[in-house]
């Protein structure tokens, strides 16, 4: 699978939390050839259905990214913004951004604030407007922006913004194209607003009412940048989730995934992270409860514009999704 | 008059989980106009009103009846009452305020260690909640226990006042303004069927709205609220959020919800088209029942219209009376627009 091209396609779409419609349309186009039906629900979740006679199995990868939302335009034409998801000022300062309508901007820091003291409130957006009037003609309060930086390859690895969670969307699309025989009734859901607190997956899970749920997401790798917070490493294969701060995966699901990896020669490792949640958190408590697990792609430099993953891990995640989808449950 | 309903409602006690007085008043006001009216297990008041047409969508309007307050947890041997807060209260506003305690509504004053005993160091800090107490003028613990029990609620004792250039000062403008607008809408001729939900326990985490939205099963929900304004001296423009007198606040996002983008644009264009002054929240803060409603069942499209309120969650919240009528008008236009919506 050419992950680079697919990531470039996905990242070219606008898709910060709460404003995912463009991205959903693109994913729908990519998924449609492999689907019996594609549904966009009320909140904007894209539900890709592959019919089967067996139990309902839901795979969920959130398609939204973290982002910025314009909150104020001042008399000089500078913009204040709020955060969509976990933005950190040190990751954002001096990055180029892009609005849905194509307008561009840069993030800068108010001059009276020292770098070590900066908070998100001290950053502002400069969209190249000469004054307030011009700024207001370019963007409106409530418009959203995303980091406008490239995805590129470094050896067998990929880096760029929004690996979280476009790389999992890529793995889901790859899996969709590879599934052959299956009895399970399969739902591949590209969820919205995960970065704001697992908001989109809640109604999606309610409407699908699955027996099994698998969240596909990136996970903190135990690397130099976040030593001691995670258990997985880049290159260690598909990370089978045991726990994050939103879920303790059902032991039965963990066992099934580990056995499948063993049988199909898929490199895998266990994923336990301290801090950070996934859609598995909202899936497992839906209705009367759902047997839930997670398959993760280890990722470095989380929520920065240079999130990094290993292509072989992504491939392993896609294979494990296929194996679970094809298993008779 | 809308303002009279707002004033009446603000004067009633209704701390989260003890909304009875507010609910009873509203129920009596709206019962003649309701097709069906019920109180659910949590205490939400749910009224269905027939419109000229049934409408293609199920539209729910929601405002919360509850307000922030205090709950007594301990009565000291000296007869003072120790308390927890119910909902988000800035401890700095508590000192010296009058409260009414328990179902007998006995008067109390919130006290703190005497100023002449306060060290320079202590003065720099906001006192901890455990340092506050309510003084009900009891002789001793025995005397106090004759009047108050642990678990009793205390509500701010604050008069309702109009002052200055069209401003209202009262406790609980958040969210009796929303309740008042809904009471007024109930009395009007509406183009489609609507379900009016007066929710409980919003201030402790939108707890009432979960069950209400689950049972009403709306396609679209409009939340009517009071929201925090910070148009104060020394506040930089980009942190002022919104301001009383500048019209209804139509939010695109707050701490709990990204509002439906289509409905946000609809409200914005309705306000512009009908020359209703409007503003949006120029800072991401707070939350409303919309968060709980949006993620109910398989998802609900949500919008909100709020009054900008200064000193929110204090005994002296302040709002602009002119804004109230604009909120009512915009809500009415919204209902009409939903009635005309295609599938």
From the candidates B19, B29, B202, B225, give the one annotated as an active-site residue.
Answer: B202
Task: Judge whether residue B61 has pLDDT over 70.
Answer: yes
Q: How far is B129 from chain A (nearest CA, A)?
A: 28
Residues of chain A positioned with their CB less than 8 A from the CB of B282: 71-72, 80, 141
Query: Tens digits of per-residue pLDDT, A184-242?
Result: 999 999 999 999 999 999 999 999 999 999 999 999 998 888 888 899 999 999 999 99
Whether residue B90 is found in the same domain as residue B60: no
Number of alpha carbons in the 13 Å side-chain half-sphere of residue B137: 8
Are B139 and B189 contained in the same domain? Answer: no
The helix or strand, by DSSP H or E, that contains position A49, with its residue range, turns out to be strand A46-50
Mean pLDDT of A52-68: 98
Residue in this structure with the two tokens 């512009």, named with its chain if needed: B272
Predicted confidence at residue B6, as pLDDT, reads 98
B295 touches chain A (CB under 8 A): yes
What average pLDDT score do residues A268-286 get?
95
What is the Cα A144 distance to its own chain's centre?
A: 17
Q: What is the pLDDT of residues B233-261, one digit of tens each?
A: 888 888 888 999 999 999 999 999 999 99
| Residue B203's pLDDT band (cuts 50, 70, 90) | very high
B301-310 and B220-228 strand pairing = parallel
Q: Is the pLDDT of residue B161 over 70?
A: yes
Tell whether B331 is covered by a domain: yes
Q: Which residues of A are catalytic?
A: 194
**What per-residue confidence (pLDDT) applies to A227?**
80
Whether B41 and B185 share a structural domain: yes
CA distance A200 to A278: 11
Residues of chain B contacting residue A203, judged by C-beta atoms under 8 Å apart: 295-299
> B236 and B324, same structural domain?
yes
Q: What is the 3-state secondary structure (H, E, C) of B307-343?
A: EEEECCCCCCEEEEHHHHHHHHHHHHHHHHHHHCCCC
The burial of B316, by beta-carbon neighbours within 10 Å (0-12 exposed, 13-18 middle, 19 or more buried), is given as: middle
Please report residues of A whose CB lies closer than 8 A to that of B298.
41-42, 203-204, 206-207
Asked if the C-beta of A74 comes within 8 angstroms of chain B's C-beta atoms, the answer is yes
- For the segment A260-269, the average pLDDT, to the nearest whole number, is 98
Q: Which of A274, A285, A282, A280 is nearest to A245 (CA)?
A: A274
Place of tokens 């990136």: A218
Rounded CA separation A237/A213 (Å): 21
pLDDT grade, residue B343 (50/70/90)?
low
Could B258 and A17 be called an inter-chain contact, meaning their C-beta atoms sit closer than 8 Å?
Answer: yes
Instruction: Please check the confidence at residue A304 and state whether its pLDDT lies above 90.
Output: yes
pLDDT at B342: 80
- A contact test, residue of B214, B298, B303 with most A CBs within 10 A: B298
Domain contains B214: yes
pLDDT digits (tens, 9 = 90+) for A140-186: 999 999 999 999 999 999 999 999 999 999 999 999 999 999 999 99
How far does the CA of residue A71 sit from the closest CA of chain B (Å)?
A: 4
Q: Which chain B residues are Cβ-neighbours of A205 within 8 angstroms?
A: none
Q: Nearest CB to A42: which of B239, B253, B298?
A: B298
Express the helix, strand and coil content of chain A in percent, nearest 5 each: 30, 30, 35
Q: How is the beta sheet containing A157-160 ordered, strand by strand?
A: A152-154, A157-160, A307-310
Over range B265-294, report the average pLDDT: 96
A43 in reach of chain B (CB within 8 A):
yes
B250: chain A residues, CB-CB within 8 Å = none
3-state secondary structure of A272: strand
Q: How far apart are CA B229 and CA B227, in angstroms?
A: 6
A190 is written with which tokens? 């590209």
Least CB–CB distance from B299: residue in A17, A74, A203: A203
pTM of the model: 0.94
Residue that terminates a domain, selected from B156, B187, B205: B156
Give how many domains chain B has, as a whole number: 2
- Looking at the fold, whether B185 and B319 belong to one and the same domain comes out as yes
pLDDT at B65: 98
At residue B101, the 3 state secondary structure works out as strand
DSSP string of B201-239, one letter each residue = --TTTSHHHHHHHHHH--SEEEEEEEEE----TT--GGG
**Contact status of B64 with chain A (Cβ, < 8 Å):** no
Please give the distance of CA B293 from its chain centroid, rounded to a whole number: 16
Cα angle, residue B294 at apex, residues B212 and A99 outer, rounded to 5°: 165
- Phi/psi region, residue B278 (left: phi>0; alpha: psi -120 to 50; beta: rest), is beta
Does residue B161 form part of some domain? Answer: no
The Cα of A156 is separated from the nearest Cα of chain B by a number of Å equal to: 38
Pick the closest to residue B313 from B172, B208, B202 (CA basis): B172
Check whether residue B312 and residue B247 sit in a common domain.
Answer: yes
Confidence (pLDDT) at B232 = 87
B318 and B199 assigned to the same domain: yes
**CA B116 – CA B135 distance, rounded (Å):** 19
pLDDT of residue B117: 87
CA of A82: which chain B residue's CA is closest? B284
**Mean pLDDT for chain A overall:** 97
| DSSP category for residue B191 | S
From B90, B123, B156, the end of a domain falls on B156
Predicted confidence (pLDDT) at residue A313 exceeds the cutoff of 70? yes
The arithmetic mean of pLDDT across residues B94-98, rounded, is: 94
DSSP state of A117: G
Query: Nearest Cβ partner of A196 from B258, B264, B298?
Result: B258
For residues A221-242, one letter each, b for 16 or more C-beta atoms within 10 angstroms of the residue's C-beta and e for the rest, the string is bbbeebeebbbbbbbbbbbbbb
- E strands present in chain B: 36-39, 45-49, 59-64, 69-75, 80-86, 98-101, 106-111, 133-135, 153-156, 161-163, 167-170, 194-199, 220-228, 301-310, 317-320
Residue B100 placed within a domain: yes
Q: Measured between alpha carbons, how far is B198 from B182 in angstroms, rounded to an integer?
A: 9
Structural domain includes residue B280? yes
Same domain, B85 and B143: yes
Angstrom distance (rounded) from CA A97 to CA B258: 20
Check: CB of residue A271 under 8 Å from CB of residue A241.
yes
Does B22 reside within a domain? yes
Same domain, B232 and B286: yes
Token pair of A32, please? 């449609």
- Give percent of chain A with pLDDT exceeding 70: 100
Omega before B164 cis (within 30°)?
A: no
C-alpha A136/C-alpha A82 separation (Å) is 17
pLDDT at B239 (0 to 100):
83
Contacts of B258 in chain A (CB under 8 A): 17-19, 84, 193, 196
Where does the pLDDT of residue A253 fall: very low under 50, low under 70, confident under 90, or very high at 90 and above?
very high
Same domain, B213 and B88: no
Show which of B123, B156, B189 is a domain's final residue: B156
Domains and CATH numbers, chain A: 3-65+161-326 (3.40.630.10), 67-147 (2.40.30.40)
Measured CA to CA, the distance from residue A275 to residue A293 in angstroms comes to 17
Q: What is the CATH number of the domain that holds B17?
A: 3.40.630.10
B238 → closest Cβ in A41, A72, A203: A72
Tokens of A75: 């008399």
Length reported for chain A: 329
Helices (H), A58-181: 89-92, 132-138, 163-178
Which pLDDT score, from 0 to 100, does residue A222 have?
87
Task: Kindly report the CATH number assigned to the domain that includes residue B138.
Answer: 2.40.30.40
Residue with tokens 């398609």, as numbered in its chain: A63
Q: How far is CA A77 from CA A98, A105, A132, in A?
A: 17, 12, 4
Domain hosting residue B134, numbered range = 69-156
Distance from CA of B284 to the nearest CA of A (A): 6
Tens of pLDDT, residue by residue over B106-121, are: 999 999 888 888 898 9
Closest CB to B238: pick one of A74, A204, A206.
A74
Shared domain for B180 and B296, answered yes or no, is: yes
pLDDT value of residue B99: 98
Whether A42 sits inside 8 A of B295 (CB atoms) is: no
Residue A329 CA from chain centroid, whole number:
27
Report CA-CA distances (Å) from A2 to A26, A120, A173.
17, 36, 12
Percent of chain B surpassing pLDDT 70: 100
| DSSP three-state, residue B193 | coil
Q: Do B11 and B92 sit in the same domain of this protein?
A: no
B239 contacts on A by Cβ (under 8 Å): 121
Tell me the ipTM for this assembly: 0.90
Residue from A69, A72, A110 to probe the interface with B (highest B Cβ count within 10 Å): A72
Residue B30 in domain: yes
Per-residue confidence (pLDDT) for residue A275, from 0 to 100: 84
Q: Would B138 be classed as within a structural domain?
A: yes
pLDDT surpassing 90 at residue B52: yes
How close does chain B come to A142, measured CA to CA in Å? 6
Fill in the DSSP letter of residue B151. Answer: T
Q: Contact at 8 Å (CB) between B182 and B63? A: yes
pLDDT at A303 over 80: yes
Average pLDDT of chain B to the nearest whole number = 96
């Amino acid at each position: 699978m050419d992950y680079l091209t697919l990531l470039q396609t996905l990242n070219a779409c606008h898709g910060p939390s709460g404003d995912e419609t463009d991205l959903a349309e693109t994913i729908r186009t990519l998924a449609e050839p492999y689907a019996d039906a594609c549904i966009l629900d009320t909140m904007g979740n894209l539900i890709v259905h592959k019919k089967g006679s067996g139990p309902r199995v839901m795979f969920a990868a959130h398609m939204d990214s973290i982002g910025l939302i314009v909150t104020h335009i001042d008399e000089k034409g500078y913009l204040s913004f709020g955060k969509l998801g976990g933005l950190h000022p040190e990751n954002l300062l001096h990055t180029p951004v892009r609005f849905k309508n194509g307008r561009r901007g840069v993030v800068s820091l108010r001059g009276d604030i020292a770098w070590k003291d900066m908070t998100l409130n001290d950053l502002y957006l400069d969209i190249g407007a000469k004054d307030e009037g011009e700024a207001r003609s370019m963007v409106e309060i409530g418009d959203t922006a995303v980091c406008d930086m490239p995805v590129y390859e470094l050896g067998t690895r990929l880096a760029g913004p929004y690996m979280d969670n476009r790389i999992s969307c890529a793995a889901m699309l790859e899996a969709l194209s590879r599934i052959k025989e299956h009895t399970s009734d399969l739902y591949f859901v590209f969820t919205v607003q995960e970065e704001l607190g697992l908001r989109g997956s809640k109604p999606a899970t309610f409407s699908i009412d699955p027996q099994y749920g698998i969240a596909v997401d990136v996970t903190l790798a135990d690397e130099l940048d976040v030593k001691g917070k995670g258990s997985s490493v880049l290159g260690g294969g598909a990370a089978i989730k045991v726990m994050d701060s939103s879920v303790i995966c059902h032991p039965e699901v963990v066992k099934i995934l580990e056995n499948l990896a063993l049988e199909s020669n898929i490199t895998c490792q266990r994923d336990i992270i301290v801090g950070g949640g996934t859609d598995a958190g909202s899936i497992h408590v839906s209705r009367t409860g759902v047997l839930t697990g997670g398959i993760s792609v280890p990722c470095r430099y989380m929520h920065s514009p240079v999130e990094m993953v290993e292509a072989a891990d992504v491939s392993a995640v896609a294979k494990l999704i296929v194996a679970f989808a094809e298993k008779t449950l | 008059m809308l303002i009279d309903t707002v004033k009446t409602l603000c004067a009633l006690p209704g701390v989260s989980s003890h909304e009875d007085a507010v609910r009873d008043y509203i129920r009596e006001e709206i019962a003649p106009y309701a097709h069906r009216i019920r109180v659910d297990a949590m205490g939400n008041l749910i009224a269905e009103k027939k419109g000229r047409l049934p409408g293609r969508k199920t539209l729910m309007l929601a405002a919360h009846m509850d307000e922030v307050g205090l709950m007594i947890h301990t009565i000291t041997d000296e007869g003072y009452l120790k308390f927890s807060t119910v909902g988000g209260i800035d401890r700095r506003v508590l000192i010296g305020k009058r409260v009414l305690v328990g179902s007998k509504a006995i008067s109390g004053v919130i006290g703190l260690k005497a100023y002449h005993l306060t060290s320079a160091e202590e003065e720099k800090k906001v006192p901890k909640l455990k340092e506050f107490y309510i003084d009900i003028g009891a002789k001793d613990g025995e005397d106090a226990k004759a009047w108050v029990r642990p678990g009793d609620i205390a509500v701010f004792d604050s008069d309702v006042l109009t002052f200055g250039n069209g401003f209202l000062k009262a406790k609980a403008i958040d969210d009796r303004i929303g309740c008042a607008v809904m009471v007024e809408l109930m009395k009007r001729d509406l183009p489609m069927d609507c379900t009016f939900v007066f929710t409980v326990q919003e201030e402790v985490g939108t707890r009432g709205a979960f069950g209400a939205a689950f049972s009403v099963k709306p396609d679209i929900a409009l939340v009517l609220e009071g929201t925090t304004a910070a148009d104060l001296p020394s506040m930089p423009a980009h942190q002022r959020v919104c301001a009383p007198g500048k019209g209804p606040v139509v939010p695109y996002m707050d701490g709990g919800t990204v509002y439906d983008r289509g409905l946000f644009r609809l409200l914005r264009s309705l306000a512009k088209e009908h020359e209703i002054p409007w503003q949006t929240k120029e800072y991401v803060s707070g939350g409303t029942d919309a968060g709980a409603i949006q993620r109910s069942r398989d998802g609900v499209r949500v919008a909100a219209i709020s009054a900008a309120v200064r000193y929110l969650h204090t005994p002296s919240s302040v709002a602009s009376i002119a804004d109230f009528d604009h909120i009512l008008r915009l809500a009415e236009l919204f209902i009409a627009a939903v009635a005309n919506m295609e599938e």
